[in-house]
């Protein structure tokens, strides 16, 4: 089965295979197409005896609870339209994400046949279908892209026990694959495992220190540009007002991320992780350079579009700050650790103070 890695993949799969995705009891009275107002949304027209009811589905790359929670306001905004209900469509909605949806009173459909829909007199609850899109490749090392997602989850609350199923649900991975990662972590002495009780990190500083031996920001592919307006503060505003499909397809890192976390309006340089660069590089560079009014540059570059070596994990756990998308504190620390520049020590210290565990303070810059 082809993995669904992006929201675009999910949208395309659901549109092509909607008879498999939409619950069977709705299929006979259903039409599915792209929304005329926003082609990133799937519109499901339910035709009964009365007026046509619309269900707008917002595609997500995963059912991770943090991602679901972050987009609840947009879903509620969509649902304000007349005769319209809104929900998510994801590759697979795990138990944690499903709980968030139910508690928020919003629906979802996943590409594995699970669903929770509640509107008018219609109530649909389907669960128990396994995740057919979970990665089952054997991890090559603990610090390769998706293999780091269990580490990231465990490091969010280092002292807490987390079950294998919780990690699999949040990361969109199979139980067997996650078990392999946890077994490797245990064999290296990074974690403690309790039978039936979950896993927790024993020594975060050692784990992160070993991680930093395997990763630096220089592993990413970076494309330098010059902003038309030399003040990145103006580009921050452009990022806030991006329209689909770009407005949710980036994450700030390095100086710009630190500036955003500090509430500053400017940063000397902008580094943007872009998932699209991993798929159609030329098209992505063209779209982003036009959207942000960028020109290719050399030594005078101040905006860097980055194709991440962590194609999936770099975006895991990212958060919204002042209308901007910023990588997780852990990813920001990893990116900053080996980086150079006069302002970097202060930036590194600021990020370290946000982490829920002690780590090494860089000294060589």
Report the CATH number at residue 183: 1.10.10.10
Which of 214, 237, 261 marks a domain boundary? 214
pLDDT 10s digits, 98-153: 888 989 888 899 999 899 987 777 788 888 888 887 765 545 678 989 899 999 99
Q: Is residue 365 assigned to a domain?
A: no
> Does a structural domain hold residue 95?
yes
Please name the residues in contact with 66: beta carbons below 8 A apart, sequence gap of 6 or more: 317, 319
Domain boundary among 214, 232, 264: 214
pLDDT at 39 over 60: yes
Residues 6+ apart with CB under 8 A from 67: 60, 61
135 belongs to a structural domain: no
What distance lies between CA 173 and its chain's CA centroid? 14
Residue 250: C-alpha distances to residues 84, 217, 292 (Å): 29, 16, 12
The verdict on 108 and 169 lying in the same domain is no
Both structure tokens of 160: 């807490």
Rounded CA-CA distance 42/34 in Å is 5
Q: In terms of domains, do 102 and 202 share one?
A: no
Q: Verify that 36 and 101 share a domain, yes or no.
A: yes
Assess if residue 30 is contained within a domain: yes
Does 335 lie in the same domain as 258? yes
DSSP annotation of 162 reads: B
Let me know whether 236 and 342 are in one domain.
yes
Tokens of 135: 């990665």
Q: Does this model's pTM top 0.85?
A: no
φ and ψ at 201, to 5 degrees? -70, 135
Instruction: Report the SS3 class of residue 247.
Output: coil
**pLDDT for res 62:** 81
For residue 227 the two structure tokens come to 């902003």
Q: Which of 262, 246, 253, 237 is nearest to 354 (CA)?
A: 262
> What percentage of the chain reaches a pLDDT higher than 70?
88
Q: Please name every residue paired with 42 in a beta bridge, in sequence order, or none if there are none.
A: 34, 57
- In a domain? residue 245: yes
Rounded CA gap, 227 and 319, in Å?
Answer: 24
Instruction: Compute the C-alpha angle 240/241/243, nearest 5°.
Output: 120
Q: Which residue reads 């599915």 in tokens?
A: 32
Which residues form the domain of 191? 145-214
- Same domain? For 249 and 210 the reply is no
The count of other CB atoms within 10 Å of the CB of residue 19 is 10
Q: Are residues 59 and 42 in the same domain?
A: yes
Q: Give the total number of structural domains in the chain.
A: 3
**Is residue 156 in some structural domain?**
yes
Contact between 57 and 109 under an 8 Å Cβ cutoff? The reply is: yes
Write the pLDDT tens digit of every residue in 304-353.
Answer: 999 999 999 999 999 889 889 999 999 999 998 877 664 566 777 778 88
Tell me if 39 is assigned to some domain. Answer: yes
Residues 257, 333: one domain?
A: yes
For residue 347, being part of any structural domain is answered with yes
State both tokens at 231: 């003040």
CA angle at residue 73 from 71 to 77, to 5 degrees? 120
Angle, to 10 degrees, between the axis of helix 254-261 and the axis of helix 344-352? 60
CA–CA gap between residue 174 and residue 164 (Å, rounded): 10
- Judge residue 160's burial from the number of C-beta atoms within 10 Å of its C-beta, 0-12 exposed, 13-18 middle, 19 or more buried: exposed
Encode pLDDT of 204-219 as tens digits: 888 898 998 889 888 8
Q: Are residues 340 and 321 in the same domain?
A: yes
Please determine, for residue 75, whether its predicted confidence score (pLDDT) is greater than 70: yes
Residue 364: pLDDT band with limits 50, 70, 90: very low
Q: Which tens digits make up the pLDDT trace of 185-197?
A: 998 889 999 887 7
- Same domain, residue pair 35 and 67: yes
Residue 186 sits in the same domain as residue 275: no
Are 58 and 86 in contact by the 8 Å Cβ rule? The answer is: yes
Per-residue CA distances from 216 to 310, 317, 334 (Å) = 11, 19, 7
The H or E element containing residue 89 is strand 84-90
Helix, strand, coil percentages (3-state) for the chain, rounded to 5, are 40, 20, 40
Helix (H, G, I), strand (E, B) or coil at 272: strand
Are 45 and 74 found together in one domain? yes
Which of 174, 194, 214 is the endpoint of a domain? 214
Check which CATH number belongs to the domain holding 39 and give it. 3.40.1350
């Amino acid at each position: 089965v082809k993995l669904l890695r992006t929201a675009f993949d999910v949208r395309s799969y659901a549109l092509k295979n909607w008879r498999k995705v939409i619950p069977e009891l709705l299929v006979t009275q259903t039409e599915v197409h792209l929304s005329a107002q926003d082609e990133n949304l799937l519109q499901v027209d339910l035709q009964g005896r009365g007026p046509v009811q619309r269900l707008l589905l917002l595609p997500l790359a995963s059912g991770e609870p943090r991602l679901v929670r972050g987009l609840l306001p947009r879903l509620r905004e969509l649902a304000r339209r007349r005769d319209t209900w809104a929900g998510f469509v994801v590759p697979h909605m795990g138990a944690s994400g499903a709980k968030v949806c139910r508690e928020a009173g919003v629906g979802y459909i996943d590409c594995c046949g699970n669903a929770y829909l509640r509107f008018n007199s219609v109530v649909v609850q389907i669960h128990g279908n396994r995740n057919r899109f979970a990665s089952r490749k054997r991890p090559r090392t603990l610090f390769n892209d998706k293999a780091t997602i269990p580490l990231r989850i465990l490091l969010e609350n280092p002292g807490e026990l987390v079950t294998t199923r919780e990690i699999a649900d949040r990361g969109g991975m199979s139980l067997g694959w996650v078990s392999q990662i946890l077994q490797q972590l245990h064999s290296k002495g990074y974690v403690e495992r309790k039978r039936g009780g979950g896993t927790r990190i024993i020594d975060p500083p050692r784990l992160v220190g070993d991680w930093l031996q395997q990763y630096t920001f220089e592993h990413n592919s970076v494309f330098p540009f010059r902003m038309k307006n030399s003040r990145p503060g103006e580009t921050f505003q452009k990022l806030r007002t991006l329209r689909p499909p770009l407005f949710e397809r980036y994450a700030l890192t390095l100086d710009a991320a630190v500036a955003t976390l500090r509430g500053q309006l400017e940063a000397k340089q902008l580094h943007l992780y872009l998932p699209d660069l991993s798929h159609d590089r030329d098209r992505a560079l063209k779209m982003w350079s036009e959207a942000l009014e960028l020109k290719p540059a050399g030594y005078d570059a101040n905006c860097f579009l980055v194709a991440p070596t962590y194609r999936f994990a770099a975006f895991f756990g990212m958060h919204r700050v002042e209308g901007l998308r910023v990588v997780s504190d852990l990813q920001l620390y990893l990116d900053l650790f080996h980086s150079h520049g006069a302002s970097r020590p202060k930036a590194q210290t600021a990020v370290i103070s946000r982490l829920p565990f002690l780590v090494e303070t860089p000294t060589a810059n």
